A = this chain, B = another copy of it.
Amino acid sequence: MSRPTIKTIAQETGLSIATVSKALNDSPQVRPETRALVVAAAERVGYQLNMHGVQLRTGKTYQVAAIMTAPGPKQNEWEGVEYAQLLSGISWALEDSPYRVSLYAVRSFEESITTIRQIVSLKKADGIIVSGTHADDPRVRLMQEADFPFVTYGTTIHNAPHAYVDADNEQMIRLSVARLAERGHSRIALINPMADLSYSLTRLEAYRQALDIAGLSFNPALTAHGHLTPAFGRENVLLMSGLSNPPTAYICANEASALGAFSGFHARGLVHGRDAVINATDDLNVSQYFAPPITTYFLPIHEPSEMLGRYILRRMEGETPQALQTLIMPKLIERSDDRLAK
Contact = CB atoms under 8 A, between A and B. Distances in A.
Interface of A: 48, 52-53, 55-56, 59, 61, 63, 66, 68, 70, 73, 76-78, 80-85, 87-89, 91-92, 100-105, 122, 230-231, 234, 256, 259-260, 262-263, 265-266, 284-286, 288-293, 298, 300, 302, 306
25 contacts: A52-B59, A66-B103, A70-B84, A70-B85, A73-B302, A76-B284, A77-B286, A78-B285, A80-B84, A80-B85, A83-B84, A84-B87, A87-B105, A91-B105, A92-B105, A100-B102, A101-B102, A101-B103, A230-B286, A230-B289, A259-B289, A262-B291, A263-B288, A265-B291, A266-B292
A94 B290 CA distance: 38
Contacts of A63: 102
A306 B74 CA distance: 12
A105 B104 CA distance: 16
Contact of A81 (B76, B85, B234): B85
A286 B259 contact: yes
Contacts of A292: 266
A124 to B, nearest CB: 8
A280 B274 CA distance: 30
- How many copies the complex holds: the figure is 2
A87 B105 CA distance: 8
Contacts of A81: 81-82, 84-85, 284
A71 to B, nearest CB: 8
Q: Which 6 A-B pairs have the closest CB atoms?
A: A266-B291, A91-B105, A88-B105, A81-B81, A73-B302, A83-B84
Contact of A122 (B48, B68, B298): B48
Contacts of A55: 52, 55-56
Contact of A263 (B59, B284, B291): B291
A281 to B, nearest CB: 14
B306 A290 contact: no
A273 to B, nearest CB: 13
Contacts of A53: 56
A179 to B, nearest CB: 22
